[in-house]
């Protein structure tokens, strides 16, 4: 596809005695086209709108988003409006080549490990939490707006020009079929933060289970995939494929096998979240849909219980009081639950699997905070001594204290204590005990 709106090598005035040069066409969509440009500050992307979208309302909305600023680094947020011959577009950061369209995950062009899935979901939740804190709603959360680095699960979110103030959705923007909340599909309500929470759950479900939460047996029987069928499946009569009280729309064997396979792999605390959103949350917008913090708690717990199979290296999930069988198709060996550290802050307890590369984070030892910049601050790590003994190194700037039997010792910064069953550690704001 060749560009139709702006010629390559066109020079555009971007203010502050600077210009941009249109270097290449990157792609097009329903609203306009995107180009790569070069400026004195480096290379960026320029989105230019079709004539029908060149409205004063859209320009003012872009100005508002630019003034508010990006919620965090994952958003390819509008940076600056550019005008040329009476038309306008906006500049944003380029998407690096290592980020792939999330739809390609369903197409099996790449896969994600448990760890990378957790990273993607945690980043998604943190990003939309920050967007919502700013009083904004995204309105069109879907596969098409998410890019993922398959190696580590890092994400980028595009098409942010549709973002609007909560409760003030833009005319003509409702979302994408399959991701829209039922009330949006039916036309009963405009998009807002509550519909965002539903769409976010749909997106996360597909990341985990590689199937759609409402595409079960009823979907396979649809002869004509038109608006009437979509409205019925997603709006007027949605039935979750794992609704515990309605078996009518279970995954069809041979068609939606991924859903059954992965549903059986994840622990109940993850599955129960989806059950609530896709049953109660179909009707109760405000109480049936989970806030991002609840999802983050669940996926932090999931990430803390991932461990590699000692036989094949595949990632598995340790579940309390359940013997794990490696999910690797060529392994299937029974696995003993690995050693853990139980960390207590007040009455709250968390169990963290201890692998050779386990790291402890500030939210685990110090509590509080959902900001991923805070959560990802490493304050401890599993390490191996020259003599071959495993321990946990103190990466804080204060002492830890531990007790084993009648012995009490301090662990100074950058020092480690040896992993011994039932050793008790005082981290300051939290306490821990090693469990083999």
333-364 tens-digit pLDDT: 999 888 999 999 988 999 999 999 999 999 99
Tokens of 311: 């036989």
Question: Could you write out the three-class secondary structure of 43-79?
Answer: EEEEEEECHHHCCHHHHHHHHHHHHHCCCCCCECCCC
pLDDT at 166: 77
Q: Phi then psi for 51, rounded to 5 degrees? A: -55, -40
Nearest C-alpha neighbor of 233 from the set 243, 218, 248, 223: 218
Asked if residue 201 has pLDDT above 60, the reply is yes
151, β-bridge pairs: none
- What would the mean pLDDT of 97-104 be, rounded to a whole number? 94
User: Token match 């071959």: residue?
Assistant: 388
Helix (H) or strand (E) holding 341: strand 340-345
Question: Could you write out the three-class secondary structure of 76-108?
Answer: CCCCEEEEECCEEEEEECCCCCCCEECHHHHCC
Q: How far apart are CA 128 and CA 261, in angstroms?
A: 29
62-83 tens-digit pLDDT: 999 999 999 999 999 999 999 9
Q: Model's pTM, two decimal places?
A: 0.93
Q: How far apart are CA 143 and CA 318, in angstroms?
A: 30
Would you call 189 helix, strand, or coil by DSSP? coil
Chain-centre distance for alpha carbon 17: 39
Q: How far apart are CA 157 and CA 77, in angstroms?
A: 8
Q: How far apart are CA 375 and CA 300, in angstroms?
A: 10
Tokens of 304: 């803390």
143-181 tens-digit pLDDT: 989 999 999 999 999 999 989 987 666 544 568 999 999
pLDDT at 1: 42
């Amino acid at each position: 596809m060749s560009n139709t709106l702006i010629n390559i090598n066109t020079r555009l005035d971007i203010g502050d005695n600077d210009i941009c040069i249109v270097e290449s066409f990157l792609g097009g969509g329903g609203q306009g086209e995107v180009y790569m440009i070069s400026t004195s500050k480096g290379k960026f992307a320029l989105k230019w709108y079709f004539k029908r979208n060149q409205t004063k309302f859209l320009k003012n909305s872009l100005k508002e988003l630019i003034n508010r600023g990006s919620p965090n680094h994952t958003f390819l947020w509008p940076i600056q409006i550019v005008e040329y011959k009476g038309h306008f577009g906006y500049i944003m950061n380029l998407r690096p080549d290592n980020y792939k369209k999330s739809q390609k995950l369903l197409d099996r062009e790449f896969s994600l490990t448990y760890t990378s899935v957790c990273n993607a979901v945690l980043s998604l939740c943190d990003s939309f939490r920050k967007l919502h804190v700013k009083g904004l709603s995204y309105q069109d959360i879907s596969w098409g707006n998410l890019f993922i680095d398959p190696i580590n699960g890092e994400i980028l979110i595009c098409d942010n020009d549709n973002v609007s103030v909560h409760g003030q959705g833009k005319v003509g923007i409702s979302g994408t079929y399959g991701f829209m909340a039922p009330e949006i599909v039916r036309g009963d309500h405009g998009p807002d933060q509550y519909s965002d929470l539903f769409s976010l759950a749909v997106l996360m479900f597909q990341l985990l289970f590689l199937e759609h939460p409402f595409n079960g047996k009823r979907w396979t029987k649809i002869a004509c995939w038109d608006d009437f069928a979509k409205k019925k499946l997603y709006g007027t009569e949605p039935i979750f494929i794992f609704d515990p009280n309605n078996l009518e729309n279970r995954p069809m064997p041979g068609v939606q096998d991924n859903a059954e396979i992965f549903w059986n792999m994840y622990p109940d605390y993850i599955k129960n979240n989806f059950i609530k959103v896709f049953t109660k949350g179909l009707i109760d917008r405000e109480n049936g849909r989970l806030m991002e913090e609840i999802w983050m708690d669940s996926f932090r717990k999931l990430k803390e219980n991932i461990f590699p199979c000692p036989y094949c290296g595949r990632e598995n999930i340790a579940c309390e009081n359940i013997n794990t069988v490696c999910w690797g198709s060529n392994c299937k060996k029974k696995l003993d639950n690995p050693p853990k550290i139980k960390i207590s802050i007040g009455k709250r307890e968390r169990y963290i699997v201890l692998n050779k590369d386990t790291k402890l984070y500030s939210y685990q030892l110090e509590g509080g905070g959902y900001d991923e910049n805070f959560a990802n601050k490493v304050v401890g790590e599993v390490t191996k001594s020259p003599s071959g003994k495993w321990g946990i190194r103190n990466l804080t700037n204060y002492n830890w204290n531990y007790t084993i039997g009648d012995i009490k010792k301090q662990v100074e910064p950058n020092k480690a204590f040896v992993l011994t069953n039932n050793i008790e550690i005082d981290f300051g704001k939290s306490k821990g005990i090693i469990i083999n």
